[in-house]
Amino acid sequence: MSNHRLKSYAAAAFLTAVLLLAAGCRGGNKTGKNAIQGNPAANRYQLPDVPTMIDDQQQAMDYIVSHYWDRLLSEDRPGTRDTSLICGFSQKAFQEIFCQYALCLRGAGTDVALNSARTILDKIEAAQQQNIDGTLWRKFTDTYNAVLQDPNSPWRNEEYCIPLLEKRASSPLSTEEERLRAQKDLPLFCLNRLGEKANDFSFTLRNGRQVSLYGIDSEYTIIFFSNPGCTNCREVMESLQQLPNIDYLIAGKQLAVANVYPDEDLGEWIKYSAIYPENWINGYDHLLAVKNTPLYNIRAIPSVYLLDRDKRVILKDVPTDYLLQYLSQLFGL
């Protein structure tokens, strides 16, 4: 399946999810986890209206992301300069709005998403500089960080953290600590970017044989960085095992799972490794190259990547639900 066609399927799925989420957010009596509550102004924030001439799902998703924040700084909305709120929204309401934006980013083209993020950060910076006593910059960037950069966030996305790190590294509104931290983190977040070839490395199987990432012969490869005894790692493993036809996909070399232990307690790994699926490529990083050299930015375990045949990065450190949804679309499961 071509990347363009797959991206269109992904965009369609995310567009449907976003529209359902938005409907829930705007319905004042909704009480589900995606509903925005506690502030009447929240229910007046709407997705951009996609022009009727756009009938392609990918173009529609790109349009929504490009224009998502158009209404945020509108002077027509009440409370836009109220420093106790974020452009008229409570903290909780705004975080829900930002989670919806994170979902939109998943379905948009990478360049479109990056441009959208950079544009709104520029506008928030300018708005803060015009109202120096306000708190907009701090609250917006803190929410951005919590939703997209926190390694435990279900919406995390390293690619779209890059605009925030770029801005914090250079903005006069950043504290010195924020500026130095962003300058340190930015090169790490730029490792293995979407669409680029992943860094190659070798690892050792339980039988002592060494294999390299680039030596794996498969249409798609999952890199699963895991630790023995890690509860979240076990959940990822079980979720992948329950994926329909995964054994068939592995046998047909359509999918490979490289389950790699990046740390040094080899004895613990050997004891635990018996539970790993036999048709996975289970090994340990004998050189500790991933841990000790800038090859991968592993901020938390587990960390999961999806690569194509040429080992180009399709997904990077993604939440399990996003990975499973993407694989289901990829293989028509």
**Domain boundary assignment for the chain:** 3-189, 202-331
Q: Could you give the dihedral angle defined by the CA atoms of residues 54, 57, 60 and 66, in that order, rounded to the nearest 10 degrees?
A: -140
Q: What is the pTM of this model?
A: 0.85
Q: How much is the pLDDT for 166?
A: 98
Along the 333 residues of the chain, how does pLDDT read in single tens digits?
Answer: 445 544 554 555 555 455 544 444 433 333 333 333 334 344 456 888 899 999 888 899 999 999 999 988 876 655 555 567 788 888 888 999 999 999 999 999 999 999 999 999 999 999 999 888 888 999 999 999 999 999 999 999 999 999 999 999 999 999 999 999 999 999 999 999 999 999 999 999 999 999 999 999 999 999 999 999 899 999 999 999 999 999 999 999 999 999 999 999 999 999 999 999 999 999 999 999 999 999 999 999 999 999 999 999 999 999 999 999 999 989 987
Burial of 36 (0-12, 13-18, 19+ CB in 10 A): buried
Q: How much is the pLDDT for 10?
A: 53
Distance CA 135, CA 315 (A): 34
Q: How much is the pLDDT for 41?
A: 42
Q: How much is the pLDDT for 282?
A: 97
Second-level CATH architecture of 202-331 = 3-Layer(aba) Sandwich (3.40)
Q: What b/e sequence results for 291-317 when a residue is b if at least 16 CB atoms lie within 10 Å of its CB, and e otherwise?
A: eeeebbbbbebbbbbbbbeebbbbbbb
Q: How much is the pLDDT for 32?
A: 36
Quick check: 134 and 128 in contact, CB under 8 A? Answer: yes
